[in-house]
Structure 1
Amino acid sequence: MLNVFTLVNGRLFQEEIASADTLAHVTPVWVDLEAPTPEEKSWIAEHFGVTIPEDVVDDDLEESARFYEEDNGELHIRSDFLIDDDQTPRNVRVAFILHNKVLFSIHGEDLPVFRLLRLRARRIPALIEDAKDVLLKLYDADAEYSADALEGIYDSLEAVGARVLKKEITDSDAALVLAAIAREEDLNGRIRRNVMDTRRAVSFMMRSRMLNAEQFEESRQILRDIDSLDSHTAFLFDKINFLMDATVGFININQNKIIKLFSVASVALLPPTLIASIYGMNFKAMPELDWSLGYPYALVLMVLSVIAPFWYFRRKGWL
């Protein structure tokens, strides 16, 4: 999908691109390619002179290939953007190419940060002045999106904590809690990776001296916002570990209760087993034959020998 944006009265305006000839009549500031087809790539190469390789958004790029500048002045940046999906949170690689004052972005799927910027740039005048502003605003929106995702983790962990700490938890509840904790831990890790990648990209832009004074100050503010998120991710990791340990502790308690029950039962059944074994011995004068109350006496003695240990254990608080 090919999305071309121009600046009209300080606002982003999306142009309708139906064919290659349409590109000749627009002066874009941002060209966004979502899962571009070979035909769309050929349009970009023909009208803008930008060649988009097949592996531009591969995840196995070397670190040195993520931020670099070509001899012709093209600036290449590879960044990860977060998708906080309810089912599968993930980081999506986006390739940026800054060429002749036009920003080209290539990615495999639609991103919430891109939708957010398009919405804001249509409504807020003078938000964007050039292609570099588009790139900075994307990173700014990415930091804000990460902060919103962290707030969602706070809310989810608060619900999990209420479930774990305010009532007795069963094994089935513990399984659900562990699954919820694992999801939030995975999302928190992806947010931490996302803000780290954004920090590196913004720092590269500042070091490359491509920004004017106003954009440089905006970059510094983005870095400050990202730094403030680090403490939140660290706190959430500690909270997740605490809830994980508490849940595993409750599982161990439930298992210990079962083992305790079997231990008490085995100890309580030792006396009647002893009595039964004694009465089952082949004595010369067997009580059950020489005494008419032998069998009832043995049964009563076995029952009492079972009750006595349970009474003692309950009195000691072991049951």
Structure 2
Amino acid sequence: MLNIFVPAAQGLTKVKAGTGDDGPPIPTQAVWVDLLEPTVEEEKLVEASFGIEVPTREEMKEIETSNRLYEDNGALYMTMTVAAQLDTDRPVSMAVTFILAGNRLITNRYMDTKPFQQFIAYAGKHPAACPNAVTILAGLMEAFIERIADVLERVGADLDSVSSNIFARHGNGQPTSRDLRAMIERIGFNGELNSKGRESLVSLGRLLMFVQQSVPGISTEQRDRFHSISRDVLSLSDHASFLGSKVSFLLEATLGLINVEQNNIIKIFSVAAVLFLPPTLIASIYGMNYHLLPDLPGKYSNFFFSIGLMVASMGVTYALFKRKGWL
């Protein structure tokens, strides 16, 4: 999909351009060209219109800085990692390429994300948000920052809830195995969200540094705006590091509770084995033919005596364990 935006009195306005020979060309006043899952024809149209080379999907996945942030034929190529599908149970990371060619911004992406949707809706009503390509780039960066901040806030709130469930005093006993498993799943999911957010922040920080050093003729106002965004990135990175430490702590605490529960189960079997050990010994001694023993008169007296002794030994063992606090 090829989305072309031109500045207008009411804000950023979307126009159409054709990819065929008889289609309308990209307007010269266009300040932003957005390629969303572009076709080969759309890529060729953009390349021919602006004299650039749109990176392929495979090239966008490369992680080397030299392949993500560079200048070629007067155009700045910047690729960053963006967290997407953060409201689902399967968040993903995707690459987005920003190309500054003169006073035009070209974006190439293969998934629609909320920051793009929100910025397009906002810029369509605020003319000050879209006078030139650099300002649009700054607006998109701010949209990404707001999205990541919202996700980190959500992660922090959910981790606080998990922490309360783990360490709260339970009137009905300790959490069950099912509860602990659900907690581990929540902690793991929040850890994944936090990891995606940190990855985006690191990539965004590198992009902002490259922009401030490489964009020619950047105004003082724009530079100050990028500085402000960079400070937001640093503060959010620190908060993401804190959340990462909290995820590790809660995961270790939950695994500790699981170990305690397993030890309690093992203790029950151990106590049961020790509890029945004296009766077993007595039964092995008295489990003989009493009537054949010459020094034991009576046919059943010793049988009932052995049963009573077995029960008494169990009671004594239980009382001893109870007094020692082992039960």
2:107 is matched with 105
Structure 1, residues 138-185: CA drift from partner, whole Å, max 9, x if none?
112111111111011012112212222223211111111101101111
1:205 is matched with 211
Matched position secondary structure for 2:33: strand
Where do 5+ consecutive residues of structure 2 fail to align?
none
1:259 is matched with 266
Contact 1:67 1:204 in 2 (8 A): yes
Where do 5+ consecutive residues of structure 1 fail to align?
none
1:186 is matched with 192
1:36-55 equivalences under 5 Å are 36-55=38-57
2:122 and 2:296 mapped to 1: Cα distance? 96
Matched position secondary structure for 2:78: strand
2:183 and 2:296 mapped to 1: Cα distance? 59
1:170 aligns with 2:176: yes
Deviation at 1:271, TM superposition (A): 0.7
Contact 1:80 1:92 in 2 (8 A): yes
Structure 1, residues 30-61: CA drift from partner, whole Å, max 9, x if none?
00001101121122233333332434653134
Structure 1, residues 223-258: CA drift from partner, whole Å, max 9, x if none?
111111122112212221221122111111111111
Matched position secondary structure for 2:128: coil
Would the alpha carbon gap of residues 4 and 313 (structure 1) be closer, same or farther in structure 2, given more than 3 Å must change? same
1:83-162 equivalences under 5 Å are 83=84, 84-162=86-164
If the length of structure 1 is used for normalisation, what is the TM-score?
Answer: 0.93
Contact 2:33 2:107 in 1 (8 A): yes
Alignment-mate amino acid for residue 30 of structure 1 = W
1:119 and 1:80 mapped to 2: Cα distance? 22
1:3 is matched with 3
2:300 and 2:165 mapped to 1: Cα distance? 61
Deviation at 1:281, TM superposition (A): 5.6
Aligned length: 318
Deviation at 1:4, TM superposition (A): 0.5
1:277 is matched with 284
2:281 and 2:59 mapped to 1: Cα distance? 76
Deviation at 1:27, TM superposition (A): 2.3
Contact 1:56 1:95 in 2 (8 A): no
Q: Percent identity among equivalent residues?
A: 34
Q: Say what the alpha-carbon RMSD is for the aligned residues.
A: 2.0
Structure 1, residues 105-154: CA drift from partner, whole Å, max 9, x if none?
00111011111111111122312220111111111211111111101101
1:229 is matched with 236
Deviation at 1:78, TM superposition (A): 0.6
2:78 is matched with 77
Deviation at 1:292, TM superposition (A): 3.4
1:308 is matched with 316
1:231 and 1:57 mapped to 2: Cα distance? 30
Contact 2:6 2:14 in 1 (8 A): yes
Alignment-mate amino acid for residue 4 of structure 1 = I
Matched position secondary structure for 2:124: helix
Contact 2:19 2:41 in 1 (8 A): no
Structure 1, residues 14-37: CA drift from partner, whole Å, max 9, x if none?
113455422344521000001101
1:40 and 1:304 mapped to 2: Cα distance? 90
Alignment-mate amino acid for residue 88 of structure 2 = D
Matched position secondary structure for 1:243: helix
Deviation at 1:289, TM superposition (A): 6.7
Structure 1, residues 78-128: CA drift from partner, whole Å, max 9, x if none?
111122132111221011111131111001110111111111111223122
Would the alpha carbon gap of residues 40 and 143 (structure 1) be closer, same or farther in structure 2, given more than 3 Å must change? same
If the length of structure 2 is used for normalisation, what is the TM-score?
Answer: 0.91
Larger mean CA deviation between 24-33 and 150-159 belongs to 24-33
